[in-house]
Structure 1
């Protein structure tokens, strides 16, 4: 399998390392900013170079701006894209572009990322869903550089402090590095404007916690996980595992 990465930060470096350990190692290359490297992952300098590499799958983990810049064009070229920066779709025009872009059998693939149980959420008929509520709790340092820092002294927090309450759309747009999970849950369930989101900084948190509840006519669901952070504090280490699973499922005889 030939894998092209967009971005070579903590997530895609972990994915590349996992692919190198597989029974059938992938051929990899990355479209990345100058200076970002990883073993056995040659750098691609331009979008045309990525096209010439002819990947079987493009894996994006470079942030909302990079996703908007590159993914639609690749989808239009017939390349499937596995999108980590799901929150980019919270912008209605961007979502429309991404949904209409795929050509020649290409797919825009949304991984579960740091969440679990999304297969059941997505399986429930939308007409049966009553409510979907997400809560993301992370240590204060994970919120550094986000809008949360504008209204709170993150270093001085002594107890769990709500940073945001609103819709998944608002959360994903205001916290692009911290609320991709809320966007993923919204796409699986009731949509961006009918999914409630709450973001919390907790000085006692030992990792990045994601919890959600779903009320529907068919089932009542609740899910919670606390994941260790990656090299980027606001990103859960499990995100790379989710991307790896999605990649391997493209090439496995038995798919779960």
Structure 2
């Protein structure tokens, strides 16, 4: 059952999950999103997708792997019991892992169930470099995220600036990855990915920018340490149905699923 590529489930069924389902169906990989776990008050009508409203029913269905693409709350409430039941989970809401207590509970659950939790790399690259450089010692990691003003709607940025009338690029947040993950959980998951790969949530510096001239979502990482230094910059198009999410973030989840089912990981 664990290697059945046709029994993949997702937690949540928003724009990212639907994009993932459609992309996998067209890829010819044989991997299919066949079930979803959603709240009782949410109706899902999608061809070929079983809908569950509680974890027990999902476990009885028997998923081979579950992809969380819902929220920090979903990671906290639904991922631990899945791991304890021996189900591997891919987490998209990486910002939730800034909570040390939650991270410990996930590790404990995975150990108890003999399962594995992995995180999608999200909209940023270069994480393999950070992980390698971390071994010798990193001195500084700085992440800068720039998105169009509309991508920051529904966030604390609305209380700081008038997003609709911005004429120039404006900093809406400066702090560390821990603060960014708490204040901007839906927009700044990439900061958590950088923090986990590098110097941690408290020591990763973060700047978030609203830019009316931005053509997409731009992610930059500058790092230095014993290895030397590097800079990476990606300009990503937003997911067509959700401007708060980079398209590359959705693609990284698909890639994580491909790697999960590969016999040889390249």
Question: Per the shorter chain, which TM-score range?
Answer: over 0.9
* TM-score, reference length from structure 1: 0.95
Measure, in 1, the Cα distance between the counterparts of 2:108 and 2:136: 24
| C-alpha contact (below 8 Å) 1:211/1:222 kept by paired residues | yes
Name the CA shift for 1:253/1:12 in 2 (closer, same or farther; >3 Å): same
The number of residues matched between the two structures is: 256
Deviation beyond 4 Å, 4+ runs, structure 1: none
Measure, in 1, the Cα distance between the counterparts of 2:45 and 2:69: 14
| C-alpha contact (below 8 Å) 1:8/1:37 kept by paired residues | no
Question: For residue 174 of structure 1, what is the aligned residue in structure 2?
Answer: 183
| Cα displacement (A) at 1:99 | 2.5
Question: Residue by residue, what CA displacement relative to the aligned partner does 1:206-237 show, whole Å, maximum 9, x if unpaired?
Answer: 11111111101113111111111111111101
Q: Which runs of 5+ in 1 are unaligned?
A: none
Q: Does 1:198 align with 2:207?
A: yes
| C-alpha contact (below 8 Å) 1:64/1:176 kept by paired residues | yes
Measure, in 1, the Cα distance between the counterparts of 2:157 and 2:135: 32
Q: Which runs of 5+ in 2 are unaligned?
A: none
Question: Residue by residue, what CA displacement relative to the aligned partner does 1:91-119 show, whole Å, maximum 9, x if unpaired?
Answer: 22222222222033211101111011111
1:1-256 aligned within 5 A: 1=5, 2-21=7-26, 22-26=28-32, 28-33=34-39, 34-102=42-110, 103-230=112-239, 231-256=241-266
Question: Residue by residue, what CA displacement relative to the aligned partner does 1:113-156 show, whole Å, maximum 9, x if unpaired?
Answer: 10111112112234511111000000000000100101110001
Helix, strand or coil for the counterpart of 1:49? helix
Name the CA shift for 1:37/1:129 in 2 (closer, same or farther; >3 Å): farther
* TM-score, reference length from structure 2: 0.92
Question: Residue by residue, what CA displacement relative to the aligned partner does 1:231-252 show, whole Å, maximum 9, x if unpaired?
Answer: 1111101111101111011222
Measure, in 2, the Cα distance between the counterparts of 1:9 and 1:55: 19
